[in-house]
Structure 1
Amino acid sequence: MSLPALPDIFGNYVLGDFNEVVSPPAIDWLPQTPGWYLVAAALLVILGRRLARRARHWYHNRYRSEALRRLRAAENAENAVVEINRLLKLAAMEAFSREQVASLSGTAWTGFLNSQCDSPPFDEHECKLLEDTVYRTASVEADARSRLLRASLDWVTQHKNRFDD
């Protein structure tokens, strides 16, 4: 059994003479001029350089986060001042050349630390504490130890290293 054939005009007979609407061609999303390709290439170059610079900055400063973590852990250590001094020396040797830092001690060491920041983080009491406790372990008040730790954390975050522009 087959379906009956539909008449030529089906539905509303008034619309029989209308033609079907022809839609316009789809708009191409690609730019048509070579200038836009140059703009896109320039933007990619700029983005690539920024990403490379950010990666290089992270790579050259990754020691800072490790030093900050270790300094915070050393706050409650038995010989905290000696440990803080040792961690500052390690961070300084990573930030600068070993030849420049390894031989420093006493006032030359604290002067070097203060000279690497715009505003010196260590005052004279903290410098004296760093200079004196290198060779002997002395009991240090909790307040002085926390001030030294705060100054050390400030130095690690604020000092300029050999890679700074």
Structure 2
Amino acid sequence: MTIQHTPPSTYILRELHDVAVPESVSWLPQTVGWKVLAIIGGMALLYIGYRYARFRWDNRYRAEALQAIVPLDPKDPAMTSELFSIVKQVLIYHDSGYARLFGDAFLAALNQLMPTQPLFDDELAIQWVQSTVNPNVPLTESARATLKERAALWVKSHQEKASSVEQRSALYPWQWLKGQRHG
């Protein structure tokens, strides 16, 4: 049993018309000001992204050095030479002139790049450098652990010399054309 609906026959409903649906409002901005603001915002986001990528690129050596320092075992007597090699590579990244440094000059270069908190200005640092070439200068396990912590802190927080930053930033815009290495 189906019910058949018929249109209204009363005189009140006969005069009704269907409601006209208005045009939908666009979500896109209608005025030029919003478009200009969107362009400026997009450019600001691109610039912030570029600066972040540049920061990450410029500091990738720190992450690589920390990845090399973390697995070093203070129980291993050869760890001091490996730690010295890692820190020396970080120094050479800044300036190839650091490659010939050893002893007090090496420690002074480390402290020079971290002037607010010199980490390598004590007897332990001198023994560390001597232990890399002289097996008669052993370091205790706690001393090696302290050196590992200091080296990790130095890698994380040292500051570059202004001359090496200027040299890299002068090369940076054109290095990709010439195939030069960053740093």
Q: Which has the higher contact order (CA 8 A, sep 6+)?
A: 1
**Alpha carbon RMSD of aligned pairs, Å?**
2.3
Deviations along 1:85-121, whole A, 9 cap, x unmatched? 1110011212x1212x111111111111012123122
Provide the C-alpha distance between the structure 2 equivalents of 1:163 and 1:150, rounded to a whole number of angstroms: 26
Unaligned 5+ runs, structure 1? 1-5
Residues 68, 156 of structure 1: 8 Å contact kept: yes
What's 2:178 paired with?
A: none
Q: What letter corresponds to residue 18 of structure 1 in structure 2?
A: L
Task: Note if 1:102 corresponds to 2:89.
Answer: no
Gaps in structure 2 of 5+ consecutive residues: 170-183
Q: Which amino acid aligns with 1:148?
A: L
Q: Which residue of 1 aligns with 2:172?
A: none
Task: Give TM-score, length-normalised by structure 1.
Answer: 0.84
1:124 paired residue number: 122
The Cα shift of 1:12 comes to 6.7
Aligned partner of 1:66 in structure 2 is 64
Identity %: 25
Amino acid at match of 1:113: L
Choose 135-144 or 72-81, whichever is displaced more: 72-81
Instruction: Please tell me whether Structure 1 or Structure 2 has the larger radius of gyration of its CA atoms.
Output: 1
Amino acid at match of 2:99: A
Distance in structure 2 (CA, Å) of the matches to 1:136 and 1:32: 77
The range that moved more, 83-92 or 136-145, is 136-145
Structure 1 counterpart of 2:33: 35
